[in-house]
Amino acid sequence: MWVVKLGGSLQSDPALLRRWLELLSSLGRGRVVIVPGGGPFVDQVRQTQAHWGFDDLAAHNMAILGMGQSALLLRALRPTLQMAARDADIRRALRAGRTALWMPLELLREHADELTSWDVTADSLALWLAMRLNAERLVVVKSCAPPPLASLRELVDTGVLDTRFAAMAAGAGCAVDVVDKSALDEVQAQLVGGCRHSPA
């Protein structure tokens, strides 16, 4: 099983986003779970929090709902994707030969915990899901081009990944690739067969 996080900023490139969805909904059937980035929906949360000054717990819950809006957008663009909120739903979708699309509403919180801060974005939430599902690998698709051969710690330090990602990945037990949004051919080749491992 693969978890593939599609950066929310891909929503500003409709043609490319549709190509990613086509790839993952075809070659990913039965083995790929898509995690939607929050994109403009979460950008709005940041702006609203700056304006009103509410706490990070409220911002976290609003951001999770923003990821949910992105999931609904992706499903509207590619109706063959199977929406799945819980682990059991994801596994059921994959067993049925579908590409699963995560609706992360289980991450809504009543009380603050280790996930409810801006140190944790959709990238780390995708890693959290990959760990829960014992996924073989996590692919994080970014709109900015990651420096070649950079470690996960270097990607955190340069702002490509969120603050918590490298520490979480140290105990993840799955391969992690961070790729540029133009890496469609590379990911297609990996899905067809033959995977490379990124330095951690």
Query: Per residue in 121-180, pLDDT tens?
Result: 999 999 999 999 999 999 999 998 888 889 999 999 999 999 999 999 998 889 999 999
Give the closest residue to 36 by CA, choosing from 89, 73, 88, 82.
Answer: 73
pLDDT band, very low/low/confident/very high, at 195 (cuts 50, 70, 90): very low
Residue at token pair 């717990």: 57
Q: List domains and CATH numbers for the chain.
A: 2-192 (3.40.1160.10)
85: Cβ contacts below 8 Å, ≥ 6 apart? 102, 103, 104, 105, 106
Give the closest residue to 174 by CA, choosing from 126, 120, 119, 121.
Answer: 126
Q: Which run of H or E residues covers position 157?
A: helix 152-157
Look at phi and psi of residue 135 and say left if phi exceeds 0, alpha if psi is from -120 to 50, else beta: beta
pTM score, whole prediction: 0.94
β-partners of residue 34 are 4, 101
Q: Which run of H or E residues covers position 98?
A: none
pLDDT at 197 over 80: no
Spatial separation of the C-alpha atoms in residues 96 and 59, rounded to whole Å: 35
pLDDT band, very low/low/confident/very high, at 200 (cuts 50, 70, 90): very low
Q: Are 87 and 132 in contact (CB under 8 A)?
A: yes
Q: Provide φ and ψ at 26, rounded to 5°.
A: -100, -65
